[in-house]
């Protein structure tokens, strides 16, 4: 660990998850004033950098000298909050890379979501519940923040995206970096769609969603041209959010370009909103809907294991109207469902379904000692290995009721 100031620390790790491209991954952490003088626990902003940058970017005085904007984050983040700024690779794109089906490093999503957050909450006095975390980023990091929030809406309570709207699928870049990271849209369309926030708008329903971008009016040069693309991408994303009925705030700054003074200004401007998120009552997710291509899903304490889905084949799974009384599940293949511990331990429950082609086994489940139920839904065969063309998905509406002796089962 290096103490860069009384508030700013830097940690370095040898991490096989991101090697290559980085032999050493860095994480900078900005602590609030008086952190060592109290026993207080703090909320966390996970702050992602853009392309060509590193963990140092947001706190680098050379990038943000303060002559126009507020300067680096340590100049203006005075709230009682911890800011965690990790390496994301110069062109990492905040995903576990596809690597032409070989997968492996770099695994930025696994590093940030499954390793960094637990490490930070163990190393520092941080609130460890969803309401104590938001994710934010600029440019490539803006896309990354939107991706993480869509894939893990039960991990973050808010997402703040600056100058980085997700590319529409029809305009997805064809460069080698994007293909290595996500897959080739012409061959792996389902995978690319399943990682794109434009296709996952329903997943933002329980999140505070904020976006800021410039229009580069009266400006020219690369910073203006890149910002113009970001603006158009955001317009498409906002249309998709509107179609889904998702609440959001979208601020457009007419003279804004793709540069640090604007990003630091955007972050400074939303700090009060972030603190409001941290002070808000926890969200009740009952009745949530979630879409994903992940094989193993842990969302709002519902665990889904898609046993028939392999790494080379991406298929969508949709969970709808999920409550303790049941859910509707749409997808393919053998899907093992483990519920939250909402049921009476030792009590038997009937797992019933509608009249569709899907099957459910077992039909009678005893809640375990934690109050959870486990059952399997068979949604027909999964796609063949390596195929991006999934079979027509099947749906099953599942009801969960306490078992009553003497009641017949119409689906036996």
Q: Which of 88, 121, 74, 95 is nearest to 22 (CA)?
A: 88
Q: Which residues of the chain have pLDDT under 50?
A: 390, 408-412
pLDDT at residue 351, rounded to an integer = 96
pTM for this predicted structure: 0.94
Which residues does residue 15 pair with via DSSP β-bridges, in sequence order?
Answer: none
Q: Is the peptide bond before 263 cis (omega within 30 degrees of 0)?
A: no
How far apart, in Å, do the first and last CA atoms of the chain sit? 62
Q: Could you report the per-residue pLDDT of 35-68, keeping only the tens digit for each?
A: 999 999 999 999 999 999 999 999 999 999 988 8
Q: Which of 231, 95, 97 is nearest to 151 (CA)?
A: 95
pLDDT at residue 67, rounded to an integer = 86
pLDDT at residue 406, rounded to an integer = 57
Asked if residue 98 lies in contact with residue 292, where contact means CB atoms within 8 angstroms, the answer is no
pLDDT at residue 179, rounded to an integer = 92
pLDDT at residue 293, rounded to an integer = 92
Lateral strand order in the sheet of 44-48: 2-3, 8-13, 25-30, 82-86, 44-48, 133-138, 158-162, 208-214, 249-253
Residue by residue, what is the 3-state secondary structure of the chain? CEECCCCEEEEEECCHHHCCCCCCEEEEEECCCCHHHCCCCECEEEEECCCCCCCCHHHCCCCCCCCCCCCCHHHCCCCCCEEEEECCCCCCCCCECCHHHCCCCCEHHHHHHHHHHHHHHHHCCECCCHHHEEEEEECHHHHHHHHHHHHCCCCCCEEEEECCCCCCHHHCCCCHHHHHHHCCCCCCHHHHHHCCHHHCHHHHCCCEEEEEEECCCCCCCHHHHHHHHHHHHHHHHHHHHHHHCCCCEEEEECCCCCCHHHHHHHHHHHHHHHHHHHHCCCCCCCCEEEEECCCEEEECCEEEEECCCCCCCCCCEEEEEEECCEEEEEECCEEEEECCCCCCCCCEEEEEECCCCCEEECCEEECCCCCCCEEEEECCCCCCCCCCCCCCCEEEEEEEEECCCCCCCCCC
CA–CA distance, 397 with 356 (Å, rounded to integer): 8
pLDDT at residue 385, rounded to an integer = 63
Q: Could you report the per-residue pLDDT of 335-365, keeping only the tens digit for each?
A: 999 999 999 999 999 999 987 788 999 999 9
CA–CA distance, 361 with 351 (Å, rounded to integer): 8
pLDDT at residue 411, rounded to an integer = 45
């Amino acid at each position: 660990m290096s103490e860069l100031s009384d508030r700013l620390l830097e940690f370095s790790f040898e991490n096989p998850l991101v090697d290559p491209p980085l032999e050493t991954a860095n994480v900078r952490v900005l602590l609030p004033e008086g952190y060592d003088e109290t026993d207080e626990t703090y909320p966390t902003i996970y702050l992602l950098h853009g392309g060509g940058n590193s963990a140092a970017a947001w706190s680098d005085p050379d990038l943000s000298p303060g002559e126009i904007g507020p300067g680096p984050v340590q100049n203006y983040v005075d709230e009682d909050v911890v800011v965690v700024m990790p390496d994301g690779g110069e062109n990492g794109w905040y995903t576990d890379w596809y690597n032409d089906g070989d997968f492996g490093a770099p695994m930025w999503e696994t590093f940030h979501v499954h390793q960094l957050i637990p490490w930070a909450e163990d190393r520092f006095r941080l609130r460890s519940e969803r309401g104590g975390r938001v994710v934010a980023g600029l440019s490539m990091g803006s896309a990354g923040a939107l991706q993480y929030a869509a894939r893990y809406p039960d991990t973050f309570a808010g997402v703040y995206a600056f100058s980085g709207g997700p590319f529409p699928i029809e305009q997805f870049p064809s460069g080698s970096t994007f293909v290595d990271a996500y897959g080739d849209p012409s061959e792996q369309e389902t995978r690319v769609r399943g990682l794109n926030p434009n296709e996952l708008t329903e997943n933002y329903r329980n999140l505070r969603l904020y976006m800021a971008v410039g229009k580069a009016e009266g400006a020219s040069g690369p910073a203006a041209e890149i910002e113009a693309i970001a603006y158009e991408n955001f317009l498409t994303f906002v249309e998709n959010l509107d179609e889904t009925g998702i609440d959001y705030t979208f601020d457009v700054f007419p003279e804004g370009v793709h540069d640090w003074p604007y990003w630091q200004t955007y972050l400074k401007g939303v700090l009060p909103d972030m603190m409001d998120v941290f002070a808000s009552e926890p969200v009740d997710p009952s009745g949530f809907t979630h879409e994903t291509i992940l094989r193993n899903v842990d969302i709002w304490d519902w665990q889904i294991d898609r046993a028939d889905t392999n790494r080379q084949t991406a298929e969508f799974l949709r969970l709808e109207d999920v409550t303790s009384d049941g859910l509707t599940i749409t997808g393919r293949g053998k899907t093992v469902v483990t519920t939250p511990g909402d049921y009476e331990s030792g009590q038997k429950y009937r797992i019933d379904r509608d009249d569709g082609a899907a099957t459910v086994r077992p039909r009678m489940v005893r809640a375990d000692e934690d109050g959870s139920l486990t059952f399997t839904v068979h949604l027909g065969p999964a796609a063949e290995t390596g195929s991006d063309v999934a079979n027509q998905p099947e749906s099953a509406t599942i009801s969960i009721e306490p078992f009553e002796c003497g009641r017949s089962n119409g689906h036996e």
